[in-house]
Structure 1
Amino acid sequence: MLGTRAAPGDSPNSCSAPADIQYDSGGFSRNGVAASWGRARSLCWLMRQAMSASRGSSGVHSPRSRMPISHTGASATTTSRAHEPVAGTERESSINPWERQLIHHVTDADLERVRAFLEAHAETSLFLLSNLALLGPRLGDHPNSGNYQLLEERGRVAAVFCLTRGGNLLVQAAGRAELAGPILKACEAQPIAVRGVIGEWPTANALWRLLCADPRFQPLHSVKDVLYRLSLSAARVDRDAGGVLHARALDAQDFDQWEPLNTAYLAELDLPAQAAHAQRKAAFVSGARARLWWGVFEGSRLAAIAGLNATYGSFGQVGGVYTGPKDRRKGLARAAMSRLIEDCTEHHRFARLILFTGEDNHAARRLYESLGFEARGAFALLLGERRGAAG
């Protein structure tokens, strides 16, 4: 996910949902006691960059090859009550076209089963889960807020998705690519233009094909990532590396050194820095206070970074791992990740870490696998722009 380009995408814009803060029908609560919206908001970073670059790498960067993605696909001419499978998908021939579907906004009464569905697919749902916990199911002023929608089949949850104010479509459909048409149609009924798709690979890729079939849509960044999971009880870390290389959690005073490294990270991903400088600083300070950023220093100089861009319950999602080109091949990414893993185990008390990194980022993959991460499938981070879209 963040990466040094080692790193999975951990940028200033990320959301972290502590296990004790939750949105429910009564609003935000902490350990059963009502919590203010301001408190919930203060725990959420601006996720826009984190979601734009949520990968991991080893600190040795090789330019990312663009994944060829077809610009042909079925048009999204579906209704909210009928299947229209994406042409060419495996399930197309097996779907009953008359099977009834219902798509509607998530209400407070739906929250329990929506969370249960997402938690059943937690490894590819952390952005949806953390945003839901911190921002609730409805569109607000925050760029990562949005109206959560639910696709039901015969009364059962088949998909949950959210088009954020920033234009990112977050989706979980348990790999059911044939649901892409109805999902996209529901999103296109909203005033916000879809600019990117983030989620489990089969459904996100099917949505991407539909978007790219529109001549107004311009793909900018299309990468298929490998999804990795680490059980912290099985982590293989070099506990001496962090001390020898002076790895530690970052604090607010480290922003001036963190900012150029994060900017360089985004540039290597061909992604623009998002939000104004003051917003990026506020996001970093909030994350640092929550102990969500780590770094490795050579003397007083910050040389490598790693962080968490989403948390939910016992899960942490790694992002923004990055080492500058002149500092690579020194073991700095390993030291940063080792300290991150230690703190996630001993301070945050997480049980698992998730990250995703490019299929072609072999250095990053070797690093993560050497630390005990295991490949679990594929994840999509697909970004573009619709010409003529406002906002």
Structure 2
Amino acid sequence: MIREAEIEDLPRINAFLDQHIETSMFLRSNLATHGLGFSDHPHSTRAFVWEADGQVGVFGLSKVGYVMAQMPDMPLEAAQAFGHAITGHTVLGMTGEKAQVDVTLRGLGLGKAKLKMLDDEPLYQMELADLSETRVNSRALLESDLGPLERWFAHYLEDTGQETEADARSKAAARGRAAFDNGRAEVLLIDGVPVAMADINAHVEDVVQLGGVFVPTEHRGKGYGALVTTAILQREAARGAKQAILFANNPIAARAYESIGFKQIGWYRIALLQTPSEVRS
């Protein structure tokens, strides 16, 4: 019923995930970037394939403990089989289509686990051919941005409900360094000063997924969220991207994305466990 994916499975897995790309970006991107199985990278991922009675599903577990899945109309049996396959591994949380997250966590025995974040966010898509061509003043991160960036990430992690104030501060420096090292973040410049940021958290062929869009409190209400989003999408479109996906953490962000052409296509669930939990068969 369920088995760990092998190299020869990847073309079929990729084709399947591409049919549901809007809710498969993390899993698809991890496999495209890091291949199958765990490596030294935190986003490296073990993948598992479920096939039964004509139904197909793909499950993933990243090295740091985030669960991903793609299986429309997922039966509890499939999620339980995945749980058995990853028995002994620690889970931090899961993101994905709402019903699939619910069934998967139940199958892992975590359906009643305490959560520090449970958020259903509007899922948006945009064809980049519709993007404004008016150039926005922005640039990639510089090492000199790391000080302000640490403060920004502390506020971002707290504002989005991902971490408590204390945990956000302790993790902010590492998040800022990671954003600088991966080279995908962009900052909006007003009079030469960075006032907002955006990042790409998944990239598959000509599709990108945005994350980490943040405007510091003192700069809010000025349209900078829409501008920095436009800036990073202009950069990605110049590199060949044709479609963008994101999910909005709050109504103000949603209106900003809609103002530049994003259309809501569904909902996306984020479920983060209060305490990392081991999967038990």
Q: TM-score, normalised by structure 1?
A: 0.64
Aligned position for 1:165? 63
1:186: how far off? Answer: 2.3
1:151 aligned onto 2:40 = no
- Count of matched residue positions in the alignment of Structure 1 and Structure 2: 273
What residue identity is the alignment partner of 2:154? T
| 1:258 alignment partner, one of 132, 146, 149 | 149
Structure with the bigger RCO (C-alpha within 8 Å, sep 6+) is 1
Structure 2 CA distance for aligned equivalents of residues 305 and 333 of structure 1: 8
Alignment deviations for residues 50-103 of structure 1 (CA, whole Å, 9 cap, x no partner): xxxxxxxxxxxxxxxxxxxxxxxxxxxxxxxxxxxxxxxxxxxxxxxxxxxx10
Aligned position for 1:232? 128
1:145: how far off? Answer: 2.1
Aligned position for 1:106? 5
1:368 aligned onto 2:265 = no
Q: Which structure dedicates a bigger proportion of its chain to helix?
A: 2
| Aligned residue runs from structure 1 range 110-149, under 5 A | 110-149=9-48
Structure 1 CA distance for aligned equivalents of residues 211 and 92 of structure 2: 21
1:280: how far off? Answer: 3.8
| Aligned residue runs from structure 1 range 259-338, under 5 A | 259-270=150-161, 271=163, 272-273=167-168, 279-280=174-175, 282-288=177-183, 292-338=184-230
Measured at CA, do residues 300 and 188 of structure 1 come closer, stay the same or move farther in structure 2, by a change above 3 Å?
Answer: farther
Structure 1 CA distance for aligned equivalents of residues 240 and 148 of structure 2: 28
In structure 1, the gaps of 5 or more residues are 1-101
Alignment deviations for residues 208-252 of structure 1 (CA, whole Å, 9 cap, x no partner): 4565544xx2211100111100001122x3726x24xxx333334
Structure 2 CA distance for aligned equivalents of residues 172 and 113 of structure 1: 13
1:196: how far off? Answer: 1.1
Measured at CA, do residues 250 and 195 of structure 1 come closer, stay the same or move farther in structure 2, by a change above 3 Å?
Answer: closer
Aligned position for 1:382? 271
**Identity of matched residues, %:** 26
1:329: how far off? Answer: 0.8
Give the root-mean-square deviation of aligned CA atoms: 2.5
Aligned position for 1:86? none
1:325: how far off? Answer: 1.3
Indicate the SS of the match to 1:258. Answer: helix
| 1:200 alignment partner, one of 92, 97, 113 | 97
What residue identity is the alignment partner of 2:122? V
Structure 2 CA distance for aligned equivalents of residues 388 and 129 of structure 1: 24
1:372: how far off? Answer: 0.7
Alignment deviations for residues 339-363 of structure 1 (CA, whole Å, 9 cap, x no partner): 11211212x21000000114xx221
Q: TM-score, normalised by structure 2?
A: 0.87
